[in-house]
Structure 1
C-alpha cells in the first residue's frame, strides 16, 4: 500500500479575519507529484500557505480529518518569500552608518543560516566552517549559484535571488518543498537549471524531499508531475491526474477563441474611453531636447556602473526617441534592472554619468518628481515598496498613480475616485476598491500596480517583468492593455521580459545586454 503523506477531509482554510476556502478535501500519496494551479485570487495561494503553516486548516465537522506527515518540515520558495527577504534586508540596511553601500547578507551567509550559521540579526558573527566549502556541495552546483555566493542579496537580480532561495531550501533538509511560480523572471539558462533540479529531485523515488509545484499558468510543466489540483473562486474546481486536466484544458480552450476576440474589443474600447475622460488628471509634460529633429526621452553616453569591482554597464550608450518601443533582454544579473534604475532615479551612480532624461541632464538641478511625473513604473522594487504600505485600499493605489506617490496621503477628489473605479472595473476588480492592497494575492497586486502605472499616460512606461505572478486571463488582459497604451502614440514602452510569449508586436527595437562579451551590449534597431 502506498504511504500517505497528507490527508485533508472536509476542512476549511482560514486566517484571522475570514474563511478563504470553505470545503477542502485532498490527499497526497507516495509516488505522486502535484501541481497546484488556478486564477489569481481563486484560492491557490491560500492552499499553499495552509500547507506551509501560514494559514489554519480547520475541521468543518466531527468526521473531518487533517493529517500531515511533514508538519513543520516545510520550506516555500516563491515571489512572496523573495519579496519578504528584500524587505528584511532593507530593514537591516546600515549604509548610513558606513562609508560605503551596505550590501547586506551575502548568498553564502544567507545559505549558512540553515547549516548552523548565525541568523539575520547576528549577521556580523563568524560563519561556521561549512560556509567556506559551499562551492563543493552538489546543491550549490545544481542551482548554479557558485559565482554569486559572495554577492549581497540586495545586489542580486530577481532570478539570482530565486535560485539562492531554492538552494537554501534544498540544504535546509526540509521534507516538503513548495515551489510557487518558480520560472517567473528566470532566463533560459536558469529555467533549464530549475527544470533539471525538479526532474532530479521530484522524480527520485524514496528520496528525503517531496515537492509541490504551484503555477499561475499551465506552461513549462515538468514531466514528473502526475496530479493537478485547481482552485477557482475559493473552491476546488479540479482534482485528478495530469492527463485528465490537460483534456479539460483542451475542452475549455475550444470555446474561448470567439469569446476572447469579443472581450478584447470591448476592453480596448473602454480603455480608450477612460484614457480620454481622464486626460485632465495626467501630469503636465516637461520640455524635451531634440536630436535630428526628434525629441529625446533618454540619452546615455559612455555610462559606467558597477560596485565592489563588478562592472555591470561599461561604456554604454543608448538613445530612446518617442514611439520607439524597446524590448530589453539579457541573462539574469546582466544589468537590466540597473539600467532601468538609472532612469527612475533609484541608482545614485546616475549622477556621475552622462545621462539625460526628457531634455535635462541628471544632476543639473531637476528633482526626482520632475523625472517621475513623466514615468510609469512596474518593477519588483516598486512592488516591494508598495507592500510596505499594504493597508492602502485599491482605489487609493490607483489614484496614487496620478500623484506619483507610494500610498495616498491627501484627500482624493471626486474626479479621481470616478476614474479609479473605472480603471478597477476594466482590470476585473469592480466593487473591490475598498479592499486593502495587502490582502490580495501576489498576482492580483501586480495587476493593480500595472494599472496604476498606466493611468496617467506617461511619456515612458517602464515594465520590469510586469507579468510576474499573473494567471493566464490577467496576463492576456494586461498585454492587451500595454499594446493599446503603445498604440496611443503618447507613451513609449521599455519592456524587460524573459518570456518570448510576452513580447509585444510594437517592440521593434531590441537592447540586448551581454555581460560576458565586449562590448557588453548590442542594439538591434530599425533605421531611424
Structure 2
C-alpha cells in the first residue's frame, strides 16, 4: 500500500531552489535510504516530507486506518535539542561537568516518562528498548550531562517507542558504537516488519536488512538508478605555512594521570586511570557509549572541576599548581559534538575559525595582522573562503563540521583533541579530513583522536587507549 507519494516536489529558500522536481513512492513496510554528499538536500527532503518545510508539487500521505501503528509522521533530527526547566537552551559547554548545576534540566528518566504520558505509550515497550540499546545506566543523568551517542539513543528510543507509520531518521548512527549500531538495526528491522515505513538519511554502511530502496541526491536532484556518481577529488594543496612549523612545546610530558577517578555521589564514571602521553604521540581513544571517554577528555581540556581532586599533570604542570584554565586551553585545539551544540549561532564561518585563537565560542576580539593572514590561508585550504561571511548555522552540517575542524588547528596547538571529528561528514569529507590530520601530524603535534571505526581513522596514529565502564582495558602502542 502506498503510504507516501511524491511527484515533482521542489523546495525553495528565497530565490534558491534546494530540491528540484523529486518523484518517488514509499509503501508501508519498506525501508529507504536517502544518501548523497553534504549539501545535496537530504535533510531538506526529510523536513519537507514531515511538514516542517513548505514545498511545491505533490506530497501525499495516505495513512492506513487498519494499521496498529499511529497515523503520524515523525522526523528525528540529526541531534537532540533539549531545554532547561525554564524552557530555554541557554547552556554552556562546561555545564555538564559542574555537579552543583545538576538540577538545571530534567533527568533522562523524567524526559521519557513525560513523553510516554503525552503519547499514551506502553511502558513494557520502553523496557525492551532500554535493554536492547543498553540505556538503563543513564536514566538518572541530567539531559545536559549525557554524551552525543547517548543523546542519539534517547532520540531513537522515543521514536521507536512511538512507532509512527512513517519514520524519518536523520543520521541514525551518529555517536553510536559498533554494538549499538547492530542493536539499532535489529530494532529497525522489527519496525518495518510491523508495517512501518522507514526513511534513513545516511551515507553510512552497515545498514539494516530492511533497506531495499535507495535515493541518491546530488545538488537537489535524484540521481537515476544505476548512474555512476563522479566523485571530485580535492586538488592537492600545500599545507598552510603556519601548520608546517612544529608546535612550541613547553614540556615533553603532555598528559600524566595517576590513579585518576571521577564520581558523582556514589557512582564512578572513571576509576584507576593511569595514562601518560608524551609530546608527538598520536593516540586513538575508543570505548563503547558511556565508557567515560568524554569525561576523560574534559579532565585534559580543563573543563572538569574534579581535575583538582586528582593527580593530573598537563604540559608538565600539576593541576592546581597555579596555572589558569586559559593557560591550558591556549595549548589545545578541540573539536567535539558537544562543542558544536553550544557554539554561537550568530557566528559567521570566518568568525568560527577565528574563535580558535581565543578558545571562545565565537570571535569576540579583533585579529592581529598575522592572525588575519592565517585565517585567510586556512579558509582557502579548507575550500571555505567563498563562504566566509555566511552564518555557520546556514551551512550543511558537513561544512559546519569542517569549519569547526579548522577552528581546532588555526593556532597550531601543542595538542589536538579530536572527539569524533567526522560526525556529519560524508565519506569523501571524512577521507579528506583524516588526510589533513596525517599531513598536520608531520609537524610533531600531539593528537588524541576519538573514533569508533577503524576504517574511518587517520593513518598517523601511534598509540591506543580503550575504556570500558570507566576503566582502562587496553593501553598499547601500535
Structure-2-length-normalised TM-score: 0.88
Name stretches of at least 5 consecutive residues in structure 2 with no aligned partner. Answer: 64-69
Q: C-alpha root-mean-square deviation of aligned residues, in Å? A: 3.1
Q: Per residue, is there more helix in 1 or in 2?
A: 1
* Contact 2:431 2:456 (8 Å CA) reproduced: no
* Contact 1:114 1:172 (8 Å CA) reproduced: no
Give the structure 2 partner of residue 73 of structure 1. Answer: 72
Give the structure 2 partner of residue 37 of structure 1. Answer: 35
134, 144, 147: which one aligns with 1:154: 144
- Alignment of 1:398 onto 2:395: no
Cα offset, 1:92, TM superposition:
7.8
- Alignment of 1:178 onto 2:168: yes
Assess, with a 3 A threshold, how the Cα gap between structure 1 residues 193 and 38 changes in structure 2: closer, same or farther.
Answer: same
Assess, with a 3 A threshold, how the Cα gap between structure 1 residues 98 and 199 changes in structure 2: closer, same or farther.
Answer: closer
Assess, with a 3 A threshold, how the Cα gap between structure 1 residues 177 and 14 changes in structure 2: closer, same or farther.
Answer: same
- Alignment of 1:24 onto 2:25: no
Give the structure 1 partner of residue 458 of structure 2. Answer: 504
- Alignment of 1:287 onto 2:241: no
Classify the secondary structure of the residue corresponding to 1:507: coil
Classify the secondary structure of the residue corresponding to 2:223: strand
Give the structure 1 partner of residue 313 of structure 2. Answer: 356
Give the structure 2 partner of residue 331 of structure 1. Answer: 288
Structure 1 window deviating more from structure 2 (98-107 vs 420-429): it is 98-107
- Alignment of 1:525 onto 2:477: yes
Structure-1-length-normalised TM-score: 0.80
Assess, with a 3 A threshold, how the Cα gap between structure 1 residues 474 and 31 changes in structure 2: closer, same or farther.
Answer: same
Where do 1:19-418 residues align within 5 Å? 19-57=17-55, 59=56, 64-69=57-62, 73-80=72-79, 82=80, 84-85=81-82, 91=90, 101-102=102-103, 104-116=105-117, 137-202=127-192, 204=193, 207-217=194-204, 219-238=205-224, 240=225, 244=226, 248=227, 251-252=228-229, 260=233, 263=234, 266-267=236-237, 270-273=238-241, 275-276=243-244, 285=248, 287-288=250-251, 295-386=252-343, 389-418=344-373
Cα offset, 1:208, TM superposition:
4.9
Kindly report structure 1 stretches of 4+ aligned residues shifted beyond 4 Å: 15-18, 86-90, 92-100, 133-136
- CA deviations on 1:330-362 (whole Å, 9 max, x unpaired) are 111010110000011121111111111112222
Cα offset, 1:438, TM superposition:
0.8
CA distance in 2, matches of 1:198, 1:165: 14
* Contact 1:395 1:420 (8 Å CA) reproduced: yes
Assess, with a 3 A threshold, how the Cα gap between structure 1 residues 96 and 185 changes in structure 2: closer, same or farther.
Answer: closer
- CA deviations on 1:278-312 (whole Å, 9 max, x unpaired) are x6xx99x5732xxxxxx101111111102132212
* Contact 1:12 1:21 (8 Å CA) reproduced: yes
Give the structure 2 partner of residue 446 of structure 1. Answer: 401
Structure 1 window deviating more from structure 2 (347-356 vs 65-74): it is 65-74
* Contact 1:143 1:164 (8 Å CA) reproduced: no
CA distance in 1, matches of 2:337, 2:386: 27
436, 444, 447: which one aligns with 1:493: 447
- CA deviations on 1:353-397 (whole Å, 9 max, x unpaired) are 1111112222222222111111000111211121xx122111111
Name stretches of at least 5 consecutive residues in structure 1 with no aligned partner. Answer: 119-127, 289-294
* Contact 1:329 1:497 (8 Å CA) reproduced: yes
- CA deviations on 1:177-231 (whole Å, 9 max, x unpaired) are 21222223211211111111122212x1xx35321111134x1122221211122
Cα offset, 1:461, TM superposition:
0.2
CA distance in 2, matches of 1:401, 1:110: 35
Cα offset, 1:422, TM superposition:
3.0
Aligned length: 468
